[in-house]
Amino acid sequence: MRFAVDAHAIGRHLTGNEVYVRNLLNGFASLDSELEFIAYLSTADAEAWVPSHFTVHRIAGNPFVRLGCDLSYKLRRDRPQLVHVQYTAPLDCPVPVVVSVHDVSFLEHPDYFPVYRSMQLRWTVRRTIRRAARILTGSDFSRDSIARAYDLDPDRIAVIPNAAGGGFHPVRRETAVAEVRRRFEIATPFIFSVGDLQPRKNHIGLIQAFAELIGKNPKLPHQLVLAGKQTWFSGRVLEAARRSGVADRIRFLGFVSDDDLLQLYNACDLFCFPSFYEGFGLPVVEAMACGAAVACSNTSAIPEVADGAALLFNPYTFDEIARTMVDLILLPELRARMARLGLQRSMHFSWQKTAQKTLEVYCEVVEQCQPARRLIPESIIQQ
């Protein structure tokens, strides 16, 4: 059997979408499978991220060309049994579609997006969901949101959680601290957060909470370190930092590699994730996998993912964010307990499990068209 994956996000710093498809392909490779996979890539250096025995074909980076004609042409030529996309399928798709919809924030909170982007997603995702044989998402929260938004039977939506990549794990704190100092000239202790500088990540709220924390505890030496690429919203976040009164303690690192993230997660005093809305919240699991104590929002899918292994706060209340961070800073026993619980929680997720469940969905979809053929190897079912 031959399955195709639209992996154009790899190598383009598309954060969550890129992390998802990159790890999914590697998860497929970890299974003992005779199935064939085709990865469609749009950047020259992306092939290094794809398992060596997978077939790789280039597609256009321009989304109008890719979705308008190029991907459809390649699918007709390669004749896979299905194609797996994220959010948007090509206009004229000649094979069954499996689509991953990580969240519907563009419907529930269009203010988090530029107007043109929200409108584009409204149209393309609705069209893709109507066309799709199955829909995948990472949490019960997102499944329910998708079903409600598109008036779907929830059984059409498979909940398959994401996971931290295998490169995220605990390392000696002294080593991580030294690496962070060498690479970024950041001295410990620091509070760490990850996310593109966009409205729903709530950087402005975190900056205000950090200013309140330092204002009430001026002897604390902590810095606030933010990793994430700049977006159309960056100016407002940077301005909030300038006006915070603690600008000299706030560092913006921009986009950082997974290797840098590993060191930052391991070196921080705590990881804070104040996002308003997440379909899963992968940085929470990554931080836990590195042994960091986590404080995060009590909204959307985040409590489902954290499952008691993090301290939760209302992201709309700055003083509550500040109090939660202070508790983890000033109470080392609590911090150690949350780090231990987080590490245990992160072990419930793995990309191999995610890949196996995704592959089962692929085979179910193809069996709808070819019911007489057995498609999934017994060795995978028994894993």
Question: Which residue from 198, 275, 212, 273 is spatially nearest to 244, judged by alpha carbons?
Answer: 212
pLDDT at position 381: 46
Look at phi and psi of residue 84 and say left if phi exceeds 0, alpha if psi is from -120 to 50, else beta: beta
Cα–Cα separations (whole angstroms), residue 127 to 70, 120, 171, 180, 372:
18, 11, 45, 45, 30
Task: Give 100's strand partners.
Answer: 86, 136
The contacts of residue 353 (CB under 8 Å, 6+ apart) are 161, 163
pLDDT in tens, the chain (383 residues): 899 999 999 988 767 899 999 999 999 999 977 899 999 999 888 998 999 999 999 999 899 999 999 999 999 999 999 999 999 999 999 999 999 999 999 999 999 999 999 999 999 999 999 999 999 999 999 999 999 999 999 999 999 999 999 999 999 999 999 999 999 999 889 999 999 999 999 999 999 999 999 999 999 999 999 999 999 999 999 999 999 999 999 999 999 999 999 999 999 999 999 999 999 999 999 999 999 999 999 999 999 999 999 999 999 999 999 999 999 999 999 999 999 999 999 999 999 999 999 999 999 999 987 754 444 555 554 45
Q: Please state, in angstroms and rounded to a whole number, the distance separating the CA atoms of residues 237 and 193.
A: 14
Q: Please state, in angstroms and rounded to a whole number, the distance separating the CA atoms of residues 70 and 55.
A: 17
pLDDT at position 131: 93
Q: Is 85 helix (H, G, I), strand (E, B) or coil?
A: strand
Q: Is 69 helix (H, G, I), strand (E, B) or coil?
A: helix
Yes or no: say if 205 and 315 are a contact pair by the CB < 8 Å rule: yes
The contacts of residue 19 (CB under 8 Å, 6+ apart) are 165, 282
Q: Please state, in angstroms and rounded to a whole number, the distance separating the CA atoms of residues 150 and 135.
A: 12
Yes or no: say if 100 and 7 are a contact pair by the CB < 8 Å rule: no
All structural domains of the chain, each given as residue ranges with its CATH number in brackets, are 2-163+350-381 (3.40.50.2000), 173-346 (3.40.50.2000)
pLDDT at position 33: 73
Q: What is the pTM of this model?
A: 0.93
3-state SS of 4-45? EEECCCCCCCCHHHHHHHHHHHHHHHHCCCCCEEEEEECCCC
Tell me the two tokens of residue 200. 């729903």
pLDDT at position 371: 55
H helical segments located in the chain: 15-30, 63-65, 71-78, 105-108, 115-131, 140-150, 173-184, 203-216, 234-242, 258-267, 282-289, 302-306, 318-330, 332-346, 351-369, 378-381
